[in-house]
Amino acid sequence: MPQPLHPSLPAVLADRAGRILHFLWSGWAGLAALCVLAAAWQAGHETYGAFILASPLATLREIGGLALEPESWSTAAMTLQRAVTGFALVAVAGVVLGVAAGYSPAALRITAPLITILLGIPPIAWIVLAMIWFGGSDATVRTVIVVTALPVVFLGAAHGIATRDRSLDRMAEAFGAGPLRRFLTVGLRQTTTTLFPAFALALGIAFKVAVMAELLANAGGIGGALADARINLDIAKALAWVVIAVAMLLLVEYTLVHPLKGEIDRWRRAAQPWGVRR
């Protein structure tokens, strides 16, 4: 009996449901870690008092209060929009430049010191420059995100290409694949190993830098709300905004980056059924 290449719909749905459950099940570990963090936070609160460190519960109440105000939603949405668009710019530019450099060892050698310089410049310096260039606007925040996170994605893509398995290139060529086809089907596919950790890191940088740039450039968003909380010495509100920023990062990471990675890295799970290495 010929084996169907494309399995039947129920089989596909069952496989998909299994993978989603597996994904959700892995959330327990994350929840446990969050509970440990909350416990340490509570201990700090009980040691130093509510004025220095508001309790986790007070912070949650503050978040609940913020959730009822429509303007706090637009504040959060502004930061989310800036971070995600900045990250998208970084992802596209970093992958294009990194892949080009990965194929050219000379280009990689020339750019390596530039990357070191770029990584060495503190983000705060870029914030000052971007404020002078663009004022307190979206462009300021995005510029800072791009220059801070670009080296990470660039290196991820370049190393993915540079360390690819060349025997697969040879195989594809032996069976008649042209250079473009080889790049699209074999080269690009192999960058994912280094690219996805770089994406996760770049996304984290994007959110951190977005909030920082907003605070310093007085550009509204969560950074602006934090500045207000500082002026009013409202520690519970400041912590609430921090928690919201982190929650948004986790939301984007677990709805965008991780499902994509899971889809592309299906074969890796085949090697480790139930998370156990064969």
Partner 1 sequence: MTGLVLEGVGHAYLGRFVLEGIDLRVAPGEIVALVGPSGCGKSTLVHVAAGLLAPRAGRIERAYLRHAMIFQDPCLMPWATAAGNIAYVLGLAGVPRRQRTRRIAEVAAEVALEAGDLAKYPVELSGGMRQRVAIARALAVRPDFIYFDEPFTALDVALRRRMQDLVIDTCAGGRLSGLFITHDLHEAVRIAHRIAVLDTRGHGILGERPLPGDPESRDDATVFRWVRSALAGDPLFRHIHDVDERQVA
Contact residue for partner 1 among 70, 120, 176, 275 (CB under 8 A): 176
Shortest Cβ 76–partner 1 spacing (Å) = 37
Residue partners of 249: CB distance under 8 A and separation at least 6: 83, 203, 204, 207
Residue 66 CA to residue 87 CA, distance in Å, equals 26
Nearer to partner 1, 47 or 278 (CB): 278
Give the binding range for partner 1 (CB under 8 A) out of 81-89, 215-223, 230-238, 270-278: 270-278
Lookup result for tokens 């000052």 = 128
Give the binding range for partner 1 (CB under 8 A) out of 29-37, 134-142, 176-184, 224-232: 176-184
Question: How big is the chain, counted in residues?
Answer: 278
Give the binding range for partner 1 (CB under 8 A) out of 23-31, 122-130, 143-151, 166-174: 166-174
The answer to whether 1 contacts partner 1 (rule: CB under 8 A) is: yes
# residues near partner 1 by CB under 8 A: 28
The answer to whether 168 contacts partner 1 (rule: CB under 8 A) is: yes
The answer to whether 2 contacts partner 1 (rule: CB under 8 A) is: yes
The answer to whether 184 contacts partner 1 (rule: CB under 8 A) is: no
Binding mask 230-269 for partner 1 (x = CB under 8 A): ----------------------------------xxxx--
The answer to whether 16 contacts partner 1 (rule: CB under 8 A) is: no
The answer to whether 10 contacts partner 1 (rule: CB under 8 A) is: no
The answer to whether 185 contacts partner 1 (rule: CB under 8 A) is: yes
Shortest Cβ 178–partner 1 spacing (Å) = 9
Interacting residues with partner 1 (CB under 8 A) = 1-7, 167-168, 170-177, 181, 185-186, 189, 264-267, 270-271, 278
